[in-house]
């Protein structure tokens, strides 16, 4: 930072002060306990679990630029690109990489270059609450507040596909999601996560228990901040340069996890790193791989599959028409519109889907020193109603090739992670 308050790019420095603090108990916002020396041996030839714990607030800016109007929100959980970038930077520092020579050589096999991760591979990002991994709540879940006084807990319901198709922009007889008969007054579950038991219930075709549902308010608070640009040479504020951001303050029991493989053997077991925007810091700790994952239920020949996205999905759109997956083609049948194609070698018929708003993802390209092009992703929690073309002879194979597997682009980053559930049509 130069004496006149400008950084190397010539821009003025920005200093932030806290806005109004959310009302919450002090014990839920205390900093993470100090990191201790670990005697546990980690085998980096196997996959490991990276645990990020915030030391204060975190800020993961949305795709809008800083100079845009209005308050800039934090995207949470953060993009896996953000976490992967922090890990790659740490490896580079530990290996004493000459970044100028690294850029000229277009990277190395250890951490790659740009979208190429080299030997690295990631899965996630996941949230963890009291050490238990959480999964994005499927968007087909609805919550209904009970009107009866003796029933205090809300009721959870599932969207279904309409039996009959309607004429719409998707086709002549497209089956759209519909509410069950008793769902009047229900609302979709947004910014919600499920425990492993909750996701298991969903995969079995049921609704989870309320105890297995974690809402955003249970995990973190959004904290407003106001930033000002100042000239340090004369200690004055630059006129008209105000910024409003909204940080994330995690509850003490909440951490961010990232499954990783291909890390070097001298990767530090614990470290303090910069994570996200505004120079925020977090502790990084290496732990053994989390091998628990909800099992797919047994599925018969008269039943279908529901493919649940646990992480965002990036696809190359190959047609002007809506395509749920690459190379899927719309078929107009006599009384039904379906999309047919292959995923991981399994021939499928897609009958309908419940998807959320497109997730816009940008960021900064550290290799090219320029903003990354903003892309649209299918958000985590989206659900796709499918049937295997060859019936029960391929159903077991379909589960093996799709459950806890990935589809789409940039699989090394963890995009397109699937879980397979039961669909009783």
pLDDT in tens, 360-408: 888 777 777 778 888 889 999 999 999 888 765 677 888 889 999 999 8
Residue pair 70/301 in contact by the 8 Å Cβ criterion? no
* pLDDT surpasses 90 at 68: no
Nearest C-alpha neighbor of 328 from the set 303, 298, 307: 307
- Please identify, among 288, 304, 332, the residue that sits at the C-terminal boundary of a domain: 288
DSSP, residue by residue, 311-378: S-B-----SSS--SSTT-EEEE-SS-EEEEEEETTEEEEEEEEE--SPEEE--EETTTTEEPPPEEEB
Check whether 203 has a pLDDT greater than 70.
yes
**Percent of the residues in the chain that have a pLDDT greater than 70, as a whole number:** 85
231 and 303 both lie in a single domain: no
Residue 398, pLDDT score = 87
Of 244, 259, 288, the residue that ends a domain is 288
pTM: 0.84
Residues 230, 186 share a domain: no
Instruction: Please check whether residues 319 and 402 belong to one and the same domain.
Output: yes
Same domain, 169 and 119: no
Q: Which domain holds residue 237?
A: 45-133+218-288
- Assess whether 280 and 312 both reside in one domain: no
- CA 241, 247, 251: angle at the middle one, nearest 5? 160
pLDDT of 81-117, one tens digit each? 999 999 999 999 999 988 888 888 888 889 999 889 9
For the chain, first and last CA: distance in Å? 62
Total domains in the chain come to 2
pLDDT score at 306: 94
Q: pLDDT-based confidence at 318, cuts 50/70/90? A: low
Q: Identify whether 7 is part of a domain.
A: no
Q: Are residues 267 and 393 in the same domain?
A: no
DSSP string for 229-260: EEETTTTEEEEEEEEEEEEEEE-TTEEEEEEE
Residue 281 and residue 163 share a domain:
no
- Token representation of residue 138: 């499927």
DSSP-assigned letters across all residues of 65-111: -TTSSSPBPBPSSPPHHHHHHHHHHHHHHHTT--HHHHHHTT-BTTT
Q: Confidence class of residue 72 from pLDDT cuts 50, 70 and 90?
A: confident
Domain boundary among 230, 257, 288: 288
Residue range 64-83: mean pLDDT, rounded = 82
- 28 pLDDT above the threshold of 60: no
* 169 and 61, same domain (yes or no): no
For residues 349 and 404, membership in a common domain is answered with yes
Inside any domain, residue 246: yes
In a domain, 27, yes or no: no
What is the structure's pLDDT at 152? 66
Per the prediction, the chain carries an average pLDDT of 83
């Amino acid at each position: 930072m130069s004496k006149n308050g400008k950084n190397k790019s010539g821009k003025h420095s920005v200093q932030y002060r806290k806005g109004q603090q959310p009302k919450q108990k002090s014990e839920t916002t205390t900093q993470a306990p100090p990191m201790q020396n670990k005697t546990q041996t980690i085998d980096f030839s196997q996959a490991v679990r990276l645990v990020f714990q915030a030391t204060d607030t975190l800020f993961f800016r949305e795709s809008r630029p800083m100079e845009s109007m209005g308050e800039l929100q934090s995207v949470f959980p953060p993009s896996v690109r953000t976490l992967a970038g922090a890990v790659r930077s740490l490896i580079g520092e530990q290996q004493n990489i000459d970044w100028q020579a690294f850029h000229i050589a277009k990277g190395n096999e250890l951490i790659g270059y740009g979208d190429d991760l080299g030997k690295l591979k990631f899965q996630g990002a996941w949230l963890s609450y009291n050490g238990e991994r959480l999964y994005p709540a499927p968007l087909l879940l609805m919550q209904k507040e009970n009107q009866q006084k003796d029933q205090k807990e809300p009721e959870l319901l599932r969207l279904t596909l309409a039996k009959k198709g309607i004429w719409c922009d998707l086709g002549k007889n497209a089956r759209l999601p519909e509410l069950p008969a008793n769902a009047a007054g229900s609302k979709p579950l947004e910014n919600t996560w499920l425990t492993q038991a909750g996701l298991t219930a969903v995969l079995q075709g049921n609704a989870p228990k309320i105890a297995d549902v974690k809402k955003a308010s249970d995990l973190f608070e959004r904290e407003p901040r106001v930033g000002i640009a100042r000239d340090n040479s004369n200690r004055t504020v630059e006129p008209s340069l105000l910024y409003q951001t909204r940080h994330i303050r995690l509850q003490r029991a909440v951490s961010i996890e990232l499954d990783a493989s291909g890390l070097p053997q001298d990767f530090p077991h614990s470290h303090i790193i910069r994570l996200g925007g505004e120079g925020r810091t977090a502790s990084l700790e290496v732990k053994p791989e989390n091998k628990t994952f909800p099992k797919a239920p047994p599925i018969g020949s008269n039943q279908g599959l529901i493919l649940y996205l646990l992480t965002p999905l990036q696809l190359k759109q190959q047609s002007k028409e809506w395509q749920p997956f690459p190379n899927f083609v719309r078929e107009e049948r006599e009384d039904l519109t379906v999309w047919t194609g292959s995923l991981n070698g399994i021939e499928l018929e897609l009958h309908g889907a419940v998807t959320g708003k497109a997730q816009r993802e940008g960021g900064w390209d550290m290799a090219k020193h320029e903003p990354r092009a903003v892309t649209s992703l299918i958000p985590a929690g989206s659900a796709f109603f499918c049937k295997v073309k060859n019936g029960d002879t391929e159903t077991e194979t379909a589960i093996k090739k799709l459950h806890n597997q990935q589809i789409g682009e940039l699989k090394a980053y963890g995009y397109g992670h699937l879980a397979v559930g039961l669909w009783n049509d």
